[in-house]
Amino acid sequence: MAAKSKSRVRATNKLVAQLGERKVRRDEKSKYPASFDSSKLSFSYDALVVARSEVDVAATLKLANAFQVPVTTRGAGTSLTGSGSPIKGGWVLDVSRMSRIAIHKGKSMAVVQPGAVVQDIQDKAAAEGLFYPPDPSSLKHCTIGGNIACNAGGMRCAKYGVTRDFVLALEGYLPTGERVSWGGEYKKFATGYNVRDLWIGSEGTLGVVTKAVLRLLPKPARTWTILVAFEDDLQALQAVQDLLLAGMNPSILEFLDRNSVYCAEEIAGVKLFKGLSLKPLLLVEFDGHPNALRDDKKQAIDWAKRLGLAYREAKTEAETEVLWSARRKCSGAMFALGDAKINEDIVVPLESQAKFARFLKRLQKKWKLPMPTFGHAADGNFHVNIMYHREVAEERQRAKGAVDDLMQKVVALGGTISGEHGIGLAKTPFMKYARNDAEMAAMRAIKKALDPNGILNPGKLFDEYEVWSKTPEKVVLPWDKKPILK
C-alpha cells in the first residue's frame, strides 16, 4: 500500500513537472468540486488535471498508465450514477475547458471538443438553420463528452434517437495514451471493428474522447403540442401503443403518472385542465413542415376523440409553456414527498408497459413509499422516482428493497435497468440481473484489451458498490437550483 502511494506521489510530481501547477491542482479547494458528480458521492483523490489541449490528455494518460494511477475523466459532473466520482482516487482529468464548436453547414456536421456544452451545440447549429436533436434535461450544463460516454437520451429520442445516433466519428486517446480516431468527417465507414460505437456508452472506461463529429439535421419549421388526460396510468400506457400502432411519429411522447401530476398540480400549483385534475397525462409534441404538421394534428386529435379522451392543445407559445410547465415542475415538487429521491431510468418493451404499470402499483403498496413515475413513453424509458426520508433508517431500507424489486422486475419483463443514465456505481449491484456471466466476461475482456492496467475510470460497471454505505455530500449543485425537466 505504502509503495503504491509513493509511486502515485512520484507520478503526480512528474505530471506537475510536465504540465505545471496551474493545470495540475493538488489543493483541496480545487479538488473538492470534482470529487463527486450529481450522485454527490465524494471520494478523495490526488490531483485535478485541468486539460486545455490534447497534449495535456496524452501526457496525463501516458504517465498514469506507466505508474498505474487511476484516472477519472470528467465533463460537467452531472452524471446521476457516480460514474464521474473518483472512487479509486488518483487523478480526475477535467476536459470541460476543451469546448470548441465548429458547424459545417454544407456537410450538416458539427465538429466539437469534449467539453462543449450540449445547449451551446444546439444553439450554434440552430443559428445555421440546423438541428442537433438529443436533449437531455441537463443540456444547459452537461458536455458532449459526458453525453457520448453515457449515450445520453432525452425527450426527443421518441422520434430522433439517442446520442449514439448522431455521432459520426470520435477521436481521442486509449488508456495507454496512444492517439486513435474512429471515423472522420464522413457519413459511413466499414473499416474494421466499429470501436466508435464501443466507446459510446462505455462511461469513460475505454478511452478519452477529445473530438467528435456529430450529424446535424435540418431544423424543423414548427412544433405543435397536445396534452391528453386519462382515467388511470394503465389506460395512458395502452394509448401509447395505440398511437404508435396508428403510425404516428411524435417528436416527444412523455408520460406523467397520477403521482407526478399530483406533484405538478397540487404542490407546484400548475393549472392544466379546468375541472379535470389529477389525471395521468401524455404530453405529445409533433414537429416538422407546416403541411406535415397539419396531418399530424388531425391524426392526433382523431386518436384522442376515438379513444374518448380529454385533451388540450396549445394554440399559442404561452399555452405551450403552460403544458410543458407540468413536466418541468413535477420533478422538483416531488421533494415534498420525501427529502431523498432515487431516480431510476429503467426500460420496458412497449408490449410490457401495461404489466409494468400494474407492477408499479403493487410496488408502492408493498414498500409504502411514493414513487411518482414519468418518462419517455415511446421508448419505454421511465423515471421511477422512489421518494423517502434519508434520516429515517427504516425508510432507507424500504427504498433499497424497492429498487431491488424494480430492477428484477424490469428484466423479467424483457427490459433493462438503465436507458440513459448508465451504470456508474449506483447500478452495479443490479448488473447481475441484466447481464449473464458470459456477457460480463466478454465486457471484462474488452476492458482488459484496451486498458491492460485498468487505469481508466476503475471501480465502475463491474465491481458491486453499495451506494447506501456512503452519505452523499450536502451540497447544492447548479442544476439543483432551478426547476429543470427531470
Q: Minimum CB separation from ligand FAD for residue 397, in Å?
A: 26
State the SS3 of the chain.
CHHHHHHHHHHHHHHHHHHCCCCEECCHHHHHHHCCCCCCCCCCCCEEEECCCHHHHHHHHHHHHHHCCCEEEECCCCCCCCCCCCCCCCEEEECCCCCCEEEECCCCEEEECCCCEHHHHHHHHHHCCEECCCCCCCCCCCEHHHHHHHCCCCCCHHHHCCHHHHEEEEEEECCCCCEEEECCCCCCCCCCCCHHHHHCCCCCCCCEEEEEEEECEECCCEEEEEEEECCCHHHHHHHHHHHHHCCCCCCEEEEECHHHHHHHHHHCCCCCCCCCCCCCEEEEEEEECHHHHHHHHHHHHHHHHHCCCEEEECCCHHHHHHHHHHHHHHHHHHHHCCCEEEECEEECCHHHHHHHHHHHHHHHHHHCCCCCEEEEHHHCEEEEEEEECCCCHHHHHHHHHHHHHHHHHHHHCCCECECCCCCCCCCHHHHHHHCCHHHHHHHHHHHHHHCCCCCECCCCCCCCCCHHHCCCCCCCCHHHHCCCCC
Contacts to ligand FAD from residues 322-341, by CB under 6 A:
none
Say if CB 155 and CB 254 are below 8 A apart: yes
Q: Minimum CB separation from ligand FAD for residue 248, in Å?
A: 22
Q: Minimum CB separation from ligand FAD for residue 361, in Å?
A: 25
Shorter beta-carbon distance to ligand FAD: residue 443 or 484: 484
Q: Is 86 in the site for ligand FAD (CB under 6 A)?
A: no
Instruction: Out of 19, 41, 125, 152, name the contact with ligand FAD by CB under 6 A.
Output: 152
The answer to whether the Cα torsion of 187, 191, 194, 200 is positive or negative is negative
Instruction: Out of 35, 45, 61, 84, name the contact with ligand FAD by CB under 6 A.
Output: 84
Q: Is 427 in the site for ligand FAD (CB under 6 A)?
A: no
Q: Is 410 in the site for ligand FAD (CB under 6 A)?
A: no
Instruction: Out of 89, 133, 146, 375, name the contact with ligand FAD by CB under 6 A.
Output: 146
Using CB under 6 A, which of the segments 13-21, 139-147, 269-277, 427-435 binds ligand FAD? 139-147
Size of the site for ligand FAD (CB under 6 A): 38
Q: Is 429 in the site for ligand FAD (CB under 6 A)?
A: no
Q: Minimum CB separation from ligand FAD for residue 212, in Å?
A: 9
Shorter beta-carbon distance to ligand FAD: residue 79 or 364: 79
Q: Is 420 in the site for ligand FAD (CB under 6 A)?
A: yes
Q: Is 486 in the site for ligand FAD (CB under 6 A)?
A: yes
Shorter beta-carbon distance to ligand FAD: residue 182 or 303: 182
Binding mask 202-241 for ligand FAD (x = CB under 6 A): -xx---xx--------------------------------
Q: Is 283 in the site for ligand FAD (CB under 6 A)?
A: no
Using CB under 6 A, which of the segments 13-21, 133-141, 318-326, 355-363 binds ligand FAD? 133-141
Shorter beta-carbon distance to ligand FAD: residue 11 or 117: 117
Q: Is 154 in the site for ligand FAD (CB under 6 A)?
A: yes
Contacts to ligand FAD from residues 446-485, by CB under 6 A:
457, 479, 484
Q: Is 250 in the site for ligand FAD (CB under 6 A)?
A: no
Q: Is 375 in the site for ligand FAD (CB under 6 A)?
A: no
Q: Is 138 in the site for ligand FAD (CB under 6 A)?
A: yes
Shorter beta-carbon distance to ligand FAD: residue 112 or 411: 112
Which residue, among 346, 344, 342, 343, has the nearest Cα to 416 in the 3D structure?
346
Say if CB 249 and CB 320 are below 8 A apart: no
The answer to whether the Cα torsion of 291, 293, 295, 301 is positive or negative is negative
Contacts to ligand FAD from residues 24-83, by CB under 6 A:
37-38, 72-80, 83
Instruction: Out of 48, 69, 125, 142, name the contact with ligand FAD by CB under 6 A.
Output: 142
Shorter beta-carbon distance to ligand FAD: residue 77 or 380: 77
- The residues of the shown chain that bind ligand FAD, judged by CB under 6 A, are 37-38, 72-80, 83-84, 95, 114, 136-138, 142-143, 145-147, 149-150, 152-154, 203-204, 208-209, 420-421, 457, 479, 484, 486
